[in-house]
Amino acid sequence: MYSRPIEQLIKAFSKLPSVGPRTAERFVFHLLKSGKKDVAEITNALKGLIENIKSCDMCWDFSDTSPCKMCSDPKRDATTLCVVTESQELQQIEKTGAFTGRYHVLRGVIKPGNPESVRFLKVAELLKRLQDKPIKEVILALNPDLPGETTMLYLQNAIKKESPDVNVTRLARGLPMGSDLQYADEITLGSALKHRTQS
Ligand SMILES: [Zn+2]
């Protein structure tokens, strides 16, 4: 057993995705050896994250302002909404330069076999946005895997029911089944967006 502060930090790092106890242990000893300046840099960055980042209450992206820059930018097309799972996918789509509309971040997907998981997503907020704003098209840009497909089907039906005039489209089939949009290259993703199909 290490001393308590060391064990505590190992435990905290272990909660991060893809970090097991061995990696967490390596992080802690790296910090211990690297000195106060490096540790202070991380401490300040974490403090800045907690104090300054909030959720945009229009698109649910993380931002230092609400509404975020994208939602308040009059140059962005307010009639087209791109629905993504997480903020990282929003950034990935922005990099393609192929989209000029606005976004909605669901903050997750429906877990197959667990329909209750829909309650944790920003679906009600999306449906409300469609009622309030002049949105003509919703592009479902979720991963082409089982949870993504399950969620897109659910959204398609819900939008059809609540806002039948809204056109629902999805990314073209160029993306391989099971791929992760966060890691898709910009050309493939841009092309899938440009050649989107009727949902
Ligand atoms: Zn926003």
From the CA of 103, how far away is ligand 1's center (Å)? Answer: 7
For CA atoms 183, 186, 191, 194, the dihedral sign is positive
C-alpha to C-alpha distance for 123 and 159, rounded to whole angstroms: 10
Evaluate if residue 179 carries a pLDDT over 80.
Answer: no
Residue-level length of the chain = 199
The pLDDT assigned to 25 comes to 97
From the CA of 38, how far away is ligand 1's center (Å)? Answer: 33
Report the predicted TM-score, pTM, of the whole model to 2 decimal places: 0.84
The pLDDT assigned to 132 comes to 82
Q: Return the SS3 of 21.
A: helix
Q: Any idea which of 39-43, 51-55, 61-65, 195-199 has the lowest mean pLDDT?
A: 195-199
Q: Any idea which of 65-69, 98-102, 193-197 has the lowest mean pLDDT?
A: 193-197
Strand partners, 138: 81, 168
CA 35 to chain centre: 34
Q: Which amino acid is at 79?
A: T
- Rounded to an integer, the average pLDDT of 30-52 is 93
C-alpha to C-alpha distance for 3 and 59, rounded to whole angstroms: 44
Evaluate if residue 102 carries a pLDDT over 80.
Answer: yes
From the CA of 66, how far away is ligand 1's center (Å)? Answer: 7
From the CA of 197, how far away is ligand 1's center (Å)? Answer: 25
- Rounded to an integer, the average pLDDT of 104-122 is 94
> Of 153, 105, 101, 162, which Cα lies nearest the Cα of 130?
162
Q: Which domains does the chain have, with CATH numbers?
A: 4-52 (1.10.8.420), 62-198 (3.40.1360.10)
